[in-house]
Amino acid sequence: MSNGNSPEDERPFEDASEEARPSVGRALQQARIDAGMTVDDVSSATRVRIAIVHAIEADDFAPCGGDVYARGHIRTLAKAVHLDPAPLLARFEAEHGGRPAPTPAAPLFEAERIRPERRGPNWTAAMVAAIVAVIGFVGFTMFQGDDDGSKTQVAEGATASTGKSASPTPSGSRPAAPKPEPTDSAIAAAPQDKVTVKVSAPDGRSWISAKDHSGRLLFDGLLEQGDSKTFQDSSEVNLVLGDAGAIELYVNGKKIEDDFQPGAVERLTYTKGDPEVG
Query: What average pLDDT does this structure show over 208-219?
Result: 92
| pTM for the structure as a whole | 0.33
Query: What average pLDDT does this structure show over 172-190?
Result: 53
Half-sphere exposure of 248 (CA within 13 A, CB side): 19
pLDDT at 189: 59
pLDDT at 94: 87
pLDDT of residue 175 exceeding 60, the answer is no
Average pLDDT, the chain: 75
pLDDT at 52: 94
Number of H helices, E strands in the chain: 9, 8
* 77 within some domain: yes
Domain boundary residue, one of 101, 129, 162: 101
Query: What average pLDDT does this structure show over 194-210?
Result: 89
* Run of H or E residues at 270: strand 266-271
| Residue 155 near residue 199, CB atoms below 8 Å | no
Residue 65: pLDDT band with limits 50, 70, 90: confident
Which of 245, 199, 186 lies closest to 226 in space, CA to CA? 199
The widest CA-to-CA distance across the chain, in whole angstroms, is: 183
* 82 within some domain: yes
Residue 118: pLDDT band with limits 50, 70, 90: low
Query: What average pLDDT does this structure show over 36-45?
Result: 93
Distance CA 137, CA 133 (A): 6
pLDDT at 120: 65
* 113 within some domain: no
* Run of H or E residues at 268: strand 266-271
| Residue 190 near residue 252, CB atoms below 8 Å | yes
Question: Which residue would you say has higher pLDDT here, 20 or 131?
Answer: 131
pLDDT of residue 176 exceeding 70, the answer is no
DSSP, collapsed to helix, strand or coil, labels residue 110 as: coil
List, for residues 83-117, the tens digit of each pLDDT value: 999 998 998 988 886 555 454 544 444 444 445 55
Domain with residue 24: its CATH number is 1.10.260.40
* 23 within some domain: yes
Domain total of the chain: 2
pLDDT at 233: 92
DSSP, collapsed to helix, strand or coil, labels residue 41 as: helix
DSSP, collapsed to helix, strand or coil, labels residue 78 as: helix
Separation in Å, CA 44 to CA 15, 51, 110: 38, 12, 20
Residue 184: pLDDT band with limits 50, 70, 90: very low
pLDDT of residue 39 exceeding 80, the answer is yes
Domain with residue 259: its CATH number is 2.60.40
DSSP string, 164-226: PPPPP--TT---SSPPPPPPHHHHHHS-TTSEEEEEE-SSS-EEEEEE-TT--EEEEEEE-TT
Domain boundary residue, one of 69, 101, 133: 101
Give me the domain span that covers residue 69: 16-101
Which residues, in sequence order, are CB contacts of 3 under 8 Å at separation 6+?
none
Distance CA 238, CA 246 (A): 18
Distance CA 163, CA 5 (A): 158
* 224 within some domain: yes
Which of 23-27, 166-170, 269-273 tops mean pLDDT?
A: 23-27
